[in-house]
Chains A and B, each alone.
Chain A
Amino acid sequence: MKYIVSIGLETHVQLKTATKMFCGCNLSTDCPPNTNICPVCMGLPGALPLMNKEAVKLTVMSGLMLGCEISKYSKFDRKNYFYPDMVKNYQISQNTHPLCIGGGVDITANGAPKHIRINHIHLEEDAAKINHYARHSGIDYNRCGTPLMEIVSEPDMSSPDEAMEYLTTLKQILVYAGVSDCNLEDGNMRSDVNISIRPEGQEQLGTKIEIKNMNTFKGIYAALEHEIARQTAVVSAGGVIQQETRRWDADLGETITMRTKENAHDYRYFPEPDLLPVVLDDETIDSWRKLLPELPSQKKDRFVEQYAIPEYDANVLSAQLPVADFFEKTIACGAQPKMVSNWIMTELLRLLGESGKELADIPLTPESFASLLKLLDKKTINMPTAKELFPELFEKGGDPEAMVKERGLGQVSDSGAIEGFAKQVIEANPKVVEDFLGGKGPALQFLVGQIMKLSRGKANPQMAAEVIKKQLGV
């Protein structure tokens, strides 16, 4: 029996605001415990939540990026449950009227395009951090009240690979939009996963299992693989899957029951009376729409169109926003697009990969990068010189033009000098000259190479070839 897998994700994304969702406390991560707290995020008696407009804006922008319908009317609700990381013992969330409805993410599955639908996006507050010690647990409330946007997908993914593809694309879009850093190590992007299997031919989805709170893509992938195998084994053996919540134990490499349906929470949602409903008019939504960057796929298409570069190049360049920006800025400084594209893909991305650095961390600027490529394009320097200079610019930055001048690296295109070198080379290599005249192509390259050697790499190789041919009367 073959089984069809249905996977849905609820992804919590930390928004890039300066302050918490409902109070003005700072959101920086590396502060001593319990220093970014106030009456609101500590749930003191009489404290009231204060809605952060920026968080609403960033959520709406995300919705616009993901093709959601933006709700004209949305409101907040209280989700009631006791846990020491929730100061009020209710979480302010959105149950019935979320900010964004519908939308989706386009991924590639087995080489073909696939649309993963989004059910809705809502806004809520994060919980505190609990640290566990030998004999007690300790609570640090700094994280309490961090704005989280929850993106809830439909169960449209049918393999762990599709789930990875969805998460990667989602992350790319959100980073693009500047709404989140989506930094997995910092827990900026955590997912609850629900997964069910059903026999091929059955329409109705199987009983779903929820796996809670995973913050690495690798963990999600492993948990999904394990869970598919587990459920398949249960069903194949004639068993029945019971609805429950499980958690992924990375050390054991398996999912473990957290609570069964009978023990499910009764959240007792009801409207949050301390926060007024959010009513967004077209004007406001349009003003936020204007702040949106291009989607990666739009950018790719534009790159092909505007810069006449191959689709493959455009895809690589648009995958990461900083790289795409660097590409365009370098062109804006006068470099030739295809050349910029080649150099980014071969040299720049290689050095970034080897050094483990981010584009933002290196001293190379689009200006100096463009200057280098222009020197090459104008044949002021040749390719070997450019390749020699580039790692230095990557490491230390600098002005390529000044460097070339100072070090006398300018390419020799002076025909007199090259003619002199050619004469010497022809005299010194009669055998090779014979080979060349006899029709052996590679012999010419050897002769050119000798000229390059004599010129200490600065001769213009094309010109050298021309001069040799001319002197040999070819």
Chain B
Amino acid sequence: MEEKTQHIDVARVCELAHFDICAEEMTEFQAQLDNILAYVNKLDELNLDGIEPTMYGQPVVNSFREDVVTPSLPREDVLRNAPDSANDEIKVPKIVE
């Protein structure tokens, strides 16, 4: 098991989540999240060796769809929701690779 810290690297996590929060909020979140983290470390009390993880809402498997075409949405319905569009495409700032 990896080393646990009592401290979330909020700045790094914000980068992953695409949040650009102000210093004040950063401080507030840091304290609250560290507090929550300390609480959830309660799970360390449990011996979980050999326990299977529960990843799904019910223990069921195999649900498929047949490969049959179903109607798509009218393009207007989709583009109407877009904050910006041009030439029937959704417009974003120029992406530099």
Contacts and interface: CB of A to CB of B under 8 A. Distances in A.
Contacts of A67: none
B67 A19 contact: yes
B16 A25 contact: no
Given A132-B94, A276-B62, A38 B70 contact: yes
Given A32-B88, A136-B86, A136-B93, A52 B18 contact: no
A38 B72 contact: yes
B94 A278 contact: no
Contacts of B57: 273
A327 B57 CA distance: 54
Contact of B89 (A53, A140, A271): A140
Given A138-B86, A273-B55, A276-B61, A23 B78 contact: no
Given A82-B18, A133-B94, A54 B67 contact: yes
Contact of B73 (A37, A52, A55, A84): A37
B95 A132 contact: yes
Interface in A110-142: 130-141
Contacts of B39: none
B6 to A, nearest CB: 21
Of A25, A138, A140, A275, most B-chain CB atoms within 10 Å: A138
**Interface size grouping (class) on chain B:** 20 to 34
Interface string B64-97: 1111111111010011000000111111111101
B12 to A, nearest CB: 9
Interface string A206-221: 0000000000000000
Interface string B37-78: 000000000000000000111001111111111111101001
Interface string A64-95: 00000000000100001010100000000000
Nearest to A22: B65
Contacts of A17: 67
A428 interface: no
Given A37-B73, A136-B86, A138-B86, A24 B65 contact: yes
A25 B69 contact: yes
A130 B93 CA distance: 11
A35 B75 contact: yes
A18 B79 CA distance: 25
B56 A271 contact: yes
Contacts of A184: none
| Consensus secondary structure, chain B interface | loop
Interface in A38-64: 38-39, 42, 50-56
A50 B69 CA distance: 13
Interface string A2-27: 00000000000000011100011110
A132 B94 CA distance: 7
Given A25-B69, A50-B65, A82-B18, A34 B75 contact: yes
Contacts of A56: 64
Contacts of B66: 53-54
A24 to B, nearest CB: 3
B75 A136 contact: no
B67 A137 contact: no
B72 A25 contact: yes
Contacts of A34: 75, 78-79, 88-90
Contacts of A19: 67-70
A54 B67 CA distance: 6
Contact of B95 (A53, A84, A140): A84
A52 B72 contact: no
Given A35-B72, A54-B67, A139 B61 contact: no
Contacts of A232: none
A288 B68 CA distance: 19
12 contacts: A18-B69, A19-B68, A34-B90, A37-B75, A38-B72, A38-B73, A39-B73, A51-B64, A131-B89, A136-B92, A268-B16, A276-B60
Given A25-B69, A38-B72, A137-B95, 18 more contacts: A24-B69, A24-B71, A25-B72, A34-B90, A35-B75, A37-B73, A37-B75, A38-B71, A53-B64, A55-B67, A80-B16, A84-B92, A134-B94, A138-B86, A139-B89, A139-B92, A140-B89, A275-B63
Interface of A: 17-19, 23-26, 32-39, 42, 50-56, 75, 80, 82, 84, 130-141, 247, 258, 266, 268, 271, 273, 275-279
**7 interchain residue pairs of minimum CB distance:** A24-B70, A138-B89, A54-B67, A53-B64, A271-B55, A50-B65, A279-B61
Interface of B: 16, 18, 55-57, 60-73, 75, 78-79, 86-95, 97
